């Protein structure tokens, strides 16, 4: 911290004496005194979830809360994230926050951060490293559990509607391959399909993106005439999928017996929940992006030398307008299903 104070003074003196370079000092080169300097490598801006997550981090790690946030958007590229982390290390920040695009490939750069004695907090997706001491803590969601909840709901739905397990013809529109959220949600579906005797026709990645998901669904609809369930690994994919379904002259809805295609989604962002209210998304499992406050407290504690929990899971809900299922049990845990209304949607923060 002393170094930053000296650096700040030098910059200020230099500018006052008029001997500094004329061009403005870049924000990321300025250390602000008496605040915690944080470097945040965000993986991208691919979805409504991600945008809400970035906003939550920026508002919780703001100057008025005694943080100086250096933010970098890596546009889905791991090498950009690695470059950003190396820059944060050079800038001698007090803490690094990493939202990693995929799980593997972090050992070397996180070792560099550890050697520089800069704590790293991982958020959202996880890192798969040989040595867990390369990061101090992780905050995020239990993605496998989210997937199991969705599958348990589907099982109950089929039972209530008199649909045989072998009549469920499912396609999985996967997220970014190798991301923890994709791995957890895809695995939950393939395991549940095997357990219940459902037909999982195909699993295809669409990178959590609306346009890509639409293209993928168009191809799948041409290939398989009997799809009746689409498991979309986020809301933006679900929106693209619904466009493809409707353009193909079919309907997204929950009356499979009359030919509707049932769409399941994750995130419960505003855009997704609007589709739930319209009856086009049958079930939306929440994935809460508002992690900023939790991360801010972890940073305060870590930089103050306190011990912190290694893993923090964020609370989440389940939304639908299908009112015959009120509660479900997945992996021995019970979950309420919130029957969504406009009022509930209007009261939500993202």
Name the minimum Å distance from CB 287 to ligand GYE. Answer: 5
Q: Judged by CB, which is closer to ligand GYE: 36, or 148?
A: 148
Instruction: Say how many residues touch ligand GYE, by CB under 6 A.
Output: 13
**Does residue 47 belong to the site contacting ligand GYE (CB under 6 A)?**
yes
Report the residue number, 71 or 350, with the smaller CB distance to ligand GYE: 350
Tokens standing for residue 203: 């699993």
Provide the minimum distance between the beta carbon of 190 and ligand GYE in the complex, in angstroms, as a whole number: 18
Residue 287 in contact with ligand GYE, rule: CB under 6 A: yes
With binding defined as CB under 6 A, does residue 208 bind ligand GYE?
A: yes
- How many C-beta atoms lie closer than 10 Å to residue 169's C-beta? 17
> Which residues have a Cβ under 8 Å from the Cβ of 104 and sit 6 or more positions away?
127, 128, 178
Dihedral of CA atoms 269, 271, 276, 281 in degrees, nearest 10, equals -90
Q: Compute the least distance from the CB of residue 234 to ligand GYE, in Å.
A: 3
Q: Considering the rule CB under 6 A, would residue 138 count as an interface residue with ligand GYE?
A: no
User: How far lies 147's CA from each of 4, 22, 188, 267, in Å?
Assistant: 45, 55, 5, 11
CB of 111 to ligand GYE, least distance (A): 24
Instruction: Pick the closer one to ligand GYE by CB: 261 or 287.
Output: 287
42 binds ligand GYE (CB under 6 A): no
Q: Which residue has the tokens 């809360």?
A: 65
Cβ proximity of 343 and 277 under 8 Å: no
Q: By CB under 6 A, name the one of 42, 60, 181, 288 that touches ligand GYE.
A: 181
We find the least distance from the C-beta atom of residue 348 to ligand GYE, in angstroms, to be 16
Closer to ligand GYE at the Cβ: 4 or 143? 143
Is residue 234 a contact residue for ligand GYE (CB under 6 A)? yes
Considering only 135, 198, 266, 335, the residue that binds ligand GYE (CB under 6 A) is 266
Residue 48 or 260 having the CB closest to ligand GYE: 48
Scanning 46-54, 213-221, 242-250, 274-282 for contacts with ligand GYE by CB under 6 A, the matching segment is 46-54
Give the interface with ligand GYE as residue ranges (CB under 6 A).
Answer: 46-47, 49-50, 124-125, 179, 181, 208, 234, 266-267, 287
């Amino acid at each position: 911290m002393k170094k930053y104070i000296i650096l700040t003074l030098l910059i200020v003196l230099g500018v006052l004496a008029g001997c500094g370079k004329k061009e403005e000092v870049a924000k990321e080169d300025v250390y602000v005194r008496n605040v915690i300097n944080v470097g945040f490598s965000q993986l991208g801006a691919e979805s409504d979830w991600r945008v809400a997550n970035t906003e939550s981090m920026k508002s919780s790690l703001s100057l008025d809360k005694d943080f100086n946030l250096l933010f970098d958007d890596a546009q889905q590229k791991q090498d950009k994230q690695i470059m950003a982390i190396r820059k944060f290390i050079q800038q001698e920040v007090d803490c690094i926050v990493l939202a990693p695009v995929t799980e593997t490939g972090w050992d070397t750069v996180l070792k560099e951060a550890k050697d520089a004695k800069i704590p790293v907090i991982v958020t959202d997706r996880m890192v798969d490293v040989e040595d867990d001491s390369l990061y101090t803590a992780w905050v995020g969601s239990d993605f496998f559990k989210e997937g199991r909840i969705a599958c348990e709901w589907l099982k109950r739905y089929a039972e209530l509607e008199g649909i045989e397990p072998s009549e469920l013809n499912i396609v999985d529109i996967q997220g970014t391959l190798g991301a923890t959220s994709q791995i957890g949600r895809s695995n939950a579906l393939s395991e549940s399909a095997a357990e219940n005797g459902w037909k999982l026709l195909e699993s295809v990645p669409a990178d959590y993106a609306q346009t890509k998901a639409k293209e993928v669904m168009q191809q799948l609809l041409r290939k398989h005439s009997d799809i009746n369930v689409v498991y979309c690994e986020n809301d933006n994919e679900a929106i693209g999928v619904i466009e493809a379904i409707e353009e193909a002259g079919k309907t997204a809805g929950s009356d499979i017996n009359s030919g509707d295609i049932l769409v399941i989604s994750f995130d419960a962002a505003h855009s997704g929940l609007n589709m739930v209210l319209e009856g086009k998304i049958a079930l939306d499992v929440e994935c809460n992006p508002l992690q900023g406050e939790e991360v801010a407290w972890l940073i305060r504690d870590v930089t103050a030398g306190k011990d912190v929990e290694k893993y923090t899971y964020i609370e989440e809900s389940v939304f639908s307008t299908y009112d015959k299922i009120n509660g479900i049990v997945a992996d021995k845990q019970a979950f309420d299903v919130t029957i969504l209304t406009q009022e509930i949607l209007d009261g939500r923060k993202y």
